[in-house]
Amino acid sequence: MTNVTDEEIAPLAGMRVIELSSFVAAPLGGMTLAQLGADVVRVDPLGGGPDARRWPLAPSGRSLYWAGLNKGKRSVTVDLRSARGRELVAAMAVAAGTVLTNAPPRAGLSYEELAERRPDLVYARLLGHRDGRPAVDYTVNAGLGLPYVTGPAGHDGPVNHVLPAWDVACGLYLAVGLLAAEHRRAATGRGRRIDLALHDVALATAGNLGFLAEAQLHAAGRPRIGNDLYGDFGRDFVTADGRRLMVLVLTERHWRDLVAATGLTRVVSALEQALPTSAPSPTGTPTARRWPGCSRRGSPPVRPPRLRRAWRARRCCGRATGRSRTWPPVGPRRCGASR
């Protein structure tokens, strides 16, 4: 018999979770637990759930989406419309002691009914809104207003995000909340009901990232800036062979390294002398403070807010490195060179 070391034992080995779910967030939460070693048993209705054939599809017609979000789980197919089928699932939930779901309540499978049979039950349920109203990622995203700051500058109309980011965040929060309740049960012997709303996760995340405070404190809304990075230097560039790459700067050291690596130290230093000395505030009002490093001759500036416009000017107006041309101060918008 092979000896198994502690390092080879998955963190959640020995934990069983009964999952009744569909679409993205709840299945992703169950998948996360399965990848950590939990025995996740997915309950599916006869013929498959509403997401069983969701796109994208393999050439065989099978859902790649469904397969990706349910890997590592076991599955049982049950007629949930019958009392016998619901009792079978209830018995599984009571034996496991842990349930993860976003399914509508069914007779015999609610938290209250299951907790009567298993007082230390951990029951994590995903909702659209906390009051029970339905919601999905794309409606929640639209409600936050983010489609109006997504997309290319000058575009008229909302642009929704192709990635269901709120579903992904919610699925991970659901897994974390369930594990927190499991930890509490191990310490106290008491179960827990967890209701997690997709809309609450999105709104809280917008607050955590400063989006809500920014909207409250600044009258001017955040503009669309396409592939530029808001607040730092970041944008896509086209290479000589027609490919695209994203160049990103997050720190002063990154900026110095980028300027040095591209051989633009002299050009950028000359740019710095030509650009306005005041730094723009988030509301667009100039301030008297200079960015650190802007006054040092012979060294590249270390803050990107103004120089992003200069790089755009270089790309759009044809002022290439090494040419003897005078860089004008940044003034009215020319060739998309400034925003």
Question: What does each of the 339 residues of the chain score in pLDDT, given as a tens digit?
Answer: 445 456 678 999 999 999 999 999 999 999 999 999 999 999 999 999 999 999 999 999 999 999 999 999 999 999 999 999 999 999 999 999 999 999 998 999 999 999 999 999 999 999 999 999 999 999 999 999 999 999 999 899 999 989 999 999 999 999 999 999 999 999 999 999 999 999 999 999 999 999 999 999 998 888 899 999 988 889 999 999 999 999 999 998 999 999 999 999 999 889 888 887 655 544 444 443 333 333 333 333 344 444 444 444 444 333 333 333 333 333 333 333 333
167 has catalytic annotation: yes
What's the pLDDT at 278?
Answer: 55
Positions of E strands within the chain: 16-20, 39-45, 74-78, 98-101, 122-127, 192-197, 233-238, 244-249
- For tokens 């599984």, the residue is 92
Q: Positive or negative, the Cα torsion across 92, 94, 96, 99?
A: positive
Out of 6, 167, 200, 257, the active site residue is: 167
Which residues make Cβ contacts (< 8 Å) with residue 130, sequence separation at least 6? Answer: 195, 197, 199, 200
pLDDT score at 321: 36
Q: How many CB atoms lie within 10 A of CB 57?
A: 13
Specify the pLDDT at position 36: 97
Q: Which domains does the chain have, with CATH numbers?
A: 13-217 (3.40.50.10540), 233-317 (no CATH)
Tell me the two tokens of residue 182.
């499991």
Q: Any residues with CB less than 8 A from the CB of 20 and at least 6 apart, and which? A: 42, 43, 89, 99, 100, 101, 102, 103, 109
Q: Rounded to whole angstroms, how far apart are CA atoms 161 and 147?
A: 7
Whole-model pTM?
A: 0.79
The region that residue 265 occupies, defined by phi over 0 for left and psi between -120 and 50 for alpha, beta otherwise, is alpha
